[in-house]
Structure 1
């Protein structure tokens, strides 16, 4: 009997004009749906604060040792569910919910300019769009230089790339929280499956 894979999925608290944050609403809805028998899903709401991200992510990673960490954030500009390929280290000028921003305006002093996910988002995007889900998925390489991008970079750094970031549009523009949760479920299962395949190729006798 294979041990259950653990997957962490996070959403963000409200900020700015997003008095209800679609990302956390969708993640809570995903928790109700679950990720099937083989995956142990753990969800968490992330504060829109740079310093909170710096302390929360390492403790989540240490506590759960997950196969994968998926962060979900809302983007007022998004009209599709958007898979982010990479996180950026520099350019964090915007103030967070505490009115704070990093003095260095970067995520990790002397860290690489950007970090890539080990997951190929183009492959995942194609698979999900071919699945007839009724929710359009696209790929982006710019997570926006705010808490979303900051969280993603921090997470990619901690997990050696075993992270993903998904931007969702605000609720009703055009998708409901149920639509978004179904999309997240399909996407996260694809991501986990890709990691399983990669692990099997590395350890063919490990069954």
Structure 2
């Protein structure tokens, strides 16, 4: 069993992106028999979904967790829903700034995460990690990737979803001004491992149900 973790390259003038810094720390690790693989996505509207599809094709994962940076958030924000719109407040890394454009033309208005988001959030909190279910993934490249991910996998058994993470302490220090919430890449990686533990248990439970002909309804 493989679980794919994606993170973004830096954007908006930053030199690092916490989503990728955390993802890199998980590369090659094992969680209850599941192998973790990682991929970096470009923060570019025209390229992110192709890079995502290529990573999924390469690794053939059983589940995908896409990560993204969220300024101002103080917790591990597990996203519930992706919407079919790109509405960029700033240009992407190649200068594109789509306004009120669909992620997928003629696609549904929204997709929900197929990850066990409530179980993941509860486990994270029990382990002392600040975590919450978020009801909006924004309208920048993070939401585009979340929506595109769910669209790509909607008719497959692969579970998938998106998590926003806070800034790194170095990013906050570089900005100066008012104090912003932050987490180290190591703390983010540990929180991810906690969430992945729940995900693997969920997947293994589904597989046991299928093996014994019980089906699964989560």
Structure 1 CA distance, aligned partners of 2:54 and 2:100?
Answer: 23
CA displacement at 1:35 relative to structure 2: 3.0
Q: 1:171 to 1:97 in 2, by over 3 A?
A: same
Deviations 1:52-95 (A, max 9, x none): 11211222222221101111111112100110112111143343
For 1:67, the equivalent position in structure 2 comes to 62
Q: Could you say what secondary structure the match of 1:63 adopts?
A: helix
Corresponding position of 1:144:
138
Partner of 2:105: 109
The alignment yields a C-alpha RMSD, in angstroms, of: 2.0
Question: Structure 1 pair 177/93, CA: closer, same or farther in 2 (3 Å)?
Answer: closer
Distance in 1, Cα, partners of 2:47 & 2:39? 13
Between the two proteins, the alignment pairs up a number of residues equal to 199
CA contact (8 A) 1:91 1:105 kept: yes
For residues 72 and 93 of structure 1, what CA distance do their matches in structure 2 show?
Answer: 18
- CA separation of 1:197 and 1:84: change in aligned 2, threshold 3 A: same
- CA displacement, residues 119-160 of structure 1 (integer Å, 9 cap, x when unaligned): 231222012211x2x321111120011111100110111122
Question: 2 CA distance for matches of 1:135 and 1:144?
Answer: 23
Q: Partners of 1:37 and 1:142 in 2: how far apart?
A: 31
- Taking structure 1 as the reference length, the TM-score comes to 0.88
3-state SS, counterpart of residue 39 of structure 2? strand
**Residue 201 of structure 2 aligns with which residue?**
193
Tell me the distance in 2 between the aligned counterparts of 1:10 and 1:104: 25
Q: Which residue of 1 aligns with 2:162?
A: 165
Does the alignment pair 1:100 with 2:96? yes
Q: Quote the Cα distance in structure 2 between the aligned partners of 1:110 and 1:102.
A: 17
With normalisation by structure 2, the TM-score equals 0.83
Report whether the alignment pairs 1:54 with 2:49: yes
SS, match of residue 31 in structure 2: coil
Alignment partners' CA distance in 2, 1:198 and 1:37: 15
- Closer/same/farther in 2, CA of residues 176 and 103 from structure 1, 3 Å limit: closer
Gapped regions of structure 1 (runs ≥ 5):
none
Structure 2: segments with no counterpart, 5+ residues: 170-180
| Distance (whole Å) between structure 2 residues aligned to residue 37 and residue 195 of structure 1 | 11
Q: 1:89 aligns with which of 74, 80, 84?
A: 84
Name which of structure 1's ranges 189-198 and 40-49 shifts more when overlaid on structure 2: 189-198
* Consecutive aligned runs of 4 or more in structure 1 exceeding 6 Å deviation: none
CA contact (8 A) 1:93 1:105 kept: no
